[in-house]
């Protein structure tokens, strides 16, 4: 039985404990329903109320939602604010400057506490240094940094002066970095000499140098380098500067630049089903509002809580739930530089124990990989650590199979912590469908119900609602404040990707399939319905990997599909036709390794195919269309039961079906 089928047959229900409900922000299903109904009744009033209560405005808004240029919506448009002021100054002004904002644990275990006062000063210094270098409101700054306090400081410093940041995950290749620098039109790049992961130093500055040398990004005048390891780096005089040197003599005060609510807060690239990655453009007020609000609702975050989100700042989760959400509400959070298996696979549990974490948020793929090791080695099993401070657990990024859910619940949550399985996307800015820890009865593998104000639904190919119990396309029926505003530089693509004509042009198309339970109406996500793969919670376009493969001089043709994988959720399988004859045996192995490394260089190690199969051709219809459905079956090792009579070359299936 596949993970999805077993979710659909899941009968276990875990109601919230009295302890979880007591004092929760949303303390039961009645409270949830009241909020959801309020949003239905007075949609704009609902959102306006939250925006007034949760954010500090320099100039209050008078308009709420403007739909006149749909699907280019605006929210709170005439209001003015600054995200960095909301995340830092207002807590310091309220006398909480000595509270810890970030408890940073380095790869080697060194712990550094950063208070709100410290963070404000560091952000202000860098903001002043950026201004001195001519970075101004509306400019784009690319950030290519490891998990570090400096990463958060860089993001906050940009938004403090009204610059829009675009963070590129430190695992991306120079080519991926170059494409993003060019597309976003960056004027500056903030990077590090190296990053430390699992005891190893990995280069960043040299990759950044390569990316800049690849051309198209001549507008980048400044490269600011955080010295993490002291490793040797090449230096371009006049362009490169050490972060610690340029902030040294800057003032620790920097007046925030007040921006309009719709001013782009950040642009974050993500994969789609076609073409190059899309620059998902987020607004200042809407995204900050929802990051803060969901900290309160989904995580029930209260004073005294210690929050830990294990995501990297290079992904949306690290934006909304490290760099913005926790800071916007004045929380204390743990931030971790390293990897969950170094120096041993009990690192997460050891850190929860050490820092007395109360709310822990991670990806199913991490849980699944830790199950394997800890069931084999008691020393690194969560039961060997004191996890009694934990009160809420969360997951994000991919479906969690009920087995992993139960293990997480029993072993990490000691059977006592609600698990919030949060469904959302880069484009949604924050949580969309998720349990509420003090309200929602949990069903393993289901993300349960939409948050108040989020009009999620399941429809058919024409945009009509399907009855509960019947699978369909996941959509959102009304705009919400934290939704993306545009695809950077490509409004047409924004419209066609997210508001397709086939669905009537008004529904937000998430790209996932979903089904709602007949009785409860709970949502279960069935995975992507487009050519997007989810490998370890990382989003990859099959087309991107295919383009990378065919860019190799040996390759004539390539098709990439996903295959379910016990640990990574999905694994990349590539079917490749070489320009020369089909390789076999050791030669096939050697070329496969070469191609895998090639993809690593072209995109980044996360995109490397797990399995590469060579054929003399690919299965095609007589009109030349590659039959991906068949490739998916072959990748899974399934017997082909489909009708193959329309295939031009059925014999090819035998060749591609055999495991390498
Ligand atoms: C895609 C979005 C959400 C931030 C990290 C990933 C999948 C995400 C869940 C979940 C099932 C999930 C979807 C979605 N996804 N959360 N709780 N259950 N699937 O953001 O890279 O933009 O990817 O991740 O397929 O469309 P992203």
- Give 534 Cα–ligand 1 centroid separation in angstroms: 8
Q: Are residues 309 and 418 in the same domain?
A: yes
Q: Does the annotation list 487 as a binding residue?
A: no
Q: What is the pLDDT of residue 405?
A: 97
Q: What is the pLDDT of residue 88?
A: 98
In a domain, 237, yes or no: yes
Q: What is the pLDDT of residue 528?
A: 92
pLDDT tens-digit series, residues 115-150: 999 999 999 999 999 999 999 999 999 999 999 999
How many structural domains are present in the chain?
Answer: 2
Contact 140 CB / ligand 1 (< 6 Å): no
Q: What is the pLDDT of residue 651?
A: 85
Distance CA 411, CA 415 (A): 7
Q: What is the pLDDT of residue 30?
A: 97
Q: Are residues 497 and 606 in the same domain?
A: no
Q: Are residues 184 and 234 in the same domain?
A: yes
> Which of the four pLDDT bands, split at 50, 70 and 90, describes residue 644?
confident
Q: Does the annotation list 550 as a binding residue?
A: yes
Contact 568 CB / ligand 1 (< 6 Å): no
- Give 528 Cα–ligand 1 centroid separation in angstroms: 9
Nearest CA to ligand 1 atom 24: 397
Contact 317 CB / ligand 1 (< 6 Å): yes
Residue spans of alpha helices (H) in 460-541: 491-498
> Which of the four pLDDT bands, split at 50, 70 and 90, describes residue 5?
low
pLDDT tens-digit series, residues 47-80: 999 999 999 999 999 999 999 999 999 999 999 9
Q: Are residues 479 and 570 in the same domain?
A: no
Q: Are residues 220 and 313 in the same domain?
A: yes
> Are residues 164 and 266 in contact, defined by beta-carbon separation less than 8 angstroms?
yes
Atom of ligand 1 nearest to the CA of 424: 3
Give the closest residue to 248 by CA, choosing from 132, 414, 406. 132
Q: Residue 335 in 3-state DSSP?
A: strand
- Which whole number is the average pLDDT over 590-619? 96
For helices 149-160 and 116-132, what crossing angle results, to 10°?
A: 60
Assessment of whether the complete model's pTM goes beyond 0.85: yes
In a domain, 528, yes or no: no
Report the range of poorest mean pLDDT among 130-139, 155-164, 624-633: 624-633
> Which of the four pLDDT bands, split at 50, 70 and 90, describes residue 658?
low
In a domain, 195, yes or no: yes
pLDDT tens-digit series, residues 237-277: 999 999 999 999 999 999 999 999 999 999 999 998 888 89
Atom of ligand 1 nearest to the CA of 311: 5
Give the closest residue to 225 by CA, choosing from 174, 186, 190, 181. 190
In a domain, 170, yes or no: yes
In a domain, 499, yes or no: yes
- Which whole number is the average pLDDT over 528-533? 93
Q: Are residues 422 and 554 in the same domain?
A: no
Q: Alpha carbon 235 to chain centroid distance?
A: 32
pLDDT tens-digit series, residues 390-447: 999 999 999 999 999 999 999 999 999 999 999 999 999 999 999 999 999 999 999 9
Q: Does the annotation list 528 as a binding residue?
A: yes
Atom of ligand 1 nearest to the CA of 426: 22
Q: What is the pLDDT of residue 273?
A: 84
Contact 533 CB / ligand 1 (< 6 Å): no
Question: Strand (E) positions, 363-418?
Answer: 392-396
Distances (CA, A) of 645 to 157, 177, 630, 634, 638: 61, 44, 12, 17, 18
Q: Are residues 204 and 309 in the same domain?
A: yes
- Give 437 Cα–ligand 1 centroid separation in angstroms: 20
Q: Are residues 446 and 493 in the same domain?
A: yes
Atom of ligand 1 nearest to the CA of 510: 26
478, 511, 544 - which closes a domain: 511
Q: What is the CATH number of the domain that holds 559?
A: 3.30.300.30
Q: Does the annotation list 405 as a binding residue?
A: no
Q: Are residues 88 and 135 in the same domain?
A: yes
Give the closest residue to 21 by CA, choosing from 517, 523, 442. 442
Q: What is the pLDDT of residue 3?
A: 46
In a domain, 356, yes or no: yes
- Which whole number is the average pLDDT over 315-341? 98
Q: Alpha carbon 168 to chain centroid distance?
A: 12
- Structural tokens at position 344: 């041993």
How would you classify the pairing of strands 306-309 and 332-336? parallel
Q: 491-509: buried (b, 16+ CB within 10 Å) or exposed (e) per residue?
A: eebbbebbbeeebeeebbb
> What is the DSSP-derived secondary structure letter of residue 555?
E
- Structural tokens at position 488: 């950077």
Please give the mean pLDDT across all residues of the chain. 96
Q: What is the pLDDT of residue 1?
A: 35
Q: Which domain holds residue 628?
A: 536-657
- Give 396 Cα–ligand 1 centroid separation in angstroms: 7
Q: Does the annotation list 199 as a binding residue?
A: yes
Q: Does the annotation list 138 as a binding residue?
A: no
Q: Are residues 481 and 358 in the same domain?
A: yes
Q: What is the pLDDT of residue 660?
A: 40
Give the closest residue to 419 by CA, choosing from 386, 388, 450, 441. 441
């Amino acid at each position: 039985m596949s993970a999805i089928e077993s979710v659909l047959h899941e009968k276990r229900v875990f109601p919230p404990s009295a302890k979880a409900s007591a004092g929760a922000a949303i303390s039961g299903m009645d409270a949830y329903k009241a909020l959801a109904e309020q949003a239905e009744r007075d949609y704009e009033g609902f959102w306006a109320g939250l925006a007034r209560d949760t954010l500090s405005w320099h100039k209050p808004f008078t308009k709420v939602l403007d739909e006149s240029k749909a699907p280019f919506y605006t929210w709170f448009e005439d209001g003015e604010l600054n995200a960095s002021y909301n995340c830092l100054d207002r807590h310091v002004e309220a006398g909480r400057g000595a509270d810890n904002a970030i408890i940073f644990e380095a790869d080697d275990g060194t712990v550094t506490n950063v208070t709100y006062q410290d963070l404000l000063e560091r952000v202000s210094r860098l903001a002043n240094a950026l201004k001195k270098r001519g970075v101004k409101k509306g400019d784009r700054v690319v950030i290519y940094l490891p998990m570090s306090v400096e990463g958060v400081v860089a993001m906050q410093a940009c938004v403090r002066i009204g610059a829009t940041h675009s963070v590129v995950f430190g695992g991306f290749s120079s080519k991926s970095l170059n494409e993003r620098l060019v597309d976003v039109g960056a004027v500056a790049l903030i990077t590090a000499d190296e990053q430390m992961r699992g005891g190893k130093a990995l280069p960043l500055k040299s990759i950044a140098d390569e990316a800049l040398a690849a051309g198209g990004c001549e507008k980048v005048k400044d490269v600011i380098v955080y010295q993490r390891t002291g490793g040797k780096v090449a230096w371009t005089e006049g362009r490169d500067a050490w972060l610690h040197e340029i902030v040294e003599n800057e003032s620790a005060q920097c007046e925030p630049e007040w921006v309009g609510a719709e001013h782009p807060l950040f642009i974050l690239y993500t994969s789609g089903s076609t073409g190059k990655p899309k620059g998902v453009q987020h607004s200042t007020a809407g995204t900050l509002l929802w990051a803060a609000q969901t900290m309160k609702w989904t995580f029930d975050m209260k004073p005294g809580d210690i929050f830990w989100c294990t995501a990297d700042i290079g992904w949306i989760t690290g934006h909304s739930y490290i760099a913005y959400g926790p800071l916007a509400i004045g929380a204390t959070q743990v931030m971790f530089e390293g990897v969950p298996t170094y120096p041993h696979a009990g690192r997460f549990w050891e850190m929860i124990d050490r820092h007395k974490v109360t709310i822990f948020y991670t990806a199913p793929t991490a849980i699944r990989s830790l199950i394997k090791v800890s069931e084999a080695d008691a020393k690194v099993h969560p039961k060997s650590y004191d996890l009694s401070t934990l009160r809420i657990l969360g997951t994000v990024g991919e479906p969690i199979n009920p087995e992993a859910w139960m293990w997480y619940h029993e072993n990490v949550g000691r059977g006592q912590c609600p698990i919030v399985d949060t469904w959302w996307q880069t484009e949604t800015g924050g949580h969309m469908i998720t349990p509420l820890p003090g309200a929602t009865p949990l069903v393993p593998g289901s993300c349960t119900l939409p948050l108040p104000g989020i009009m999620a639904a399941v429809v058919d190919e024409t945009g009509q609602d399907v009855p509960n119990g019947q699978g369909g396309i996941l959509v959102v029926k009304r705009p919400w404040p934290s939704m993306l505003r545009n695809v950077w530089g490509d409004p047409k693509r924004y419209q066609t990707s997210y508001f397709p004509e086939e669905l009537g042009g008004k529904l937000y198309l998430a790209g996932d399939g979903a089904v709602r339970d007949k009785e409860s109406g709970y949502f279960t996500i069935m995975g992507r319905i487009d050519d997007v793969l989810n490998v370890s919670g990382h989003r990859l376009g099959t087309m991107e990997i295919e383009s990378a493969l065919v860019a190799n001089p040996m390759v004539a043709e390539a098709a990439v599909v996903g295959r379910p994988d016990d640990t990574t959720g999905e694994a990349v399988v590539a079917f490749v036709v070489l320009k020369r004859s089909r390789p076999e045996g050791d030669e096939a192995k050697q070329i496969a390794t070469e191609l895998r490394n090639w993809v690593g260089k072209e995109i980044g190690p996360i995109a490397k195919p797990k399995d590469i199969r060579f054929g003399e051709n690919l299965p095609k219809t007589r009109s030349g269309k590659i039959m991906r459905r068949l490739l998916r079956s072959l990748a899974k090792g399934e017997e082909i039961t489909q009708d193959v009579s329309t295939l031009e070359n059925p014999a090819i299936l035998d060749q591609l079906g055999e495991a390498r």
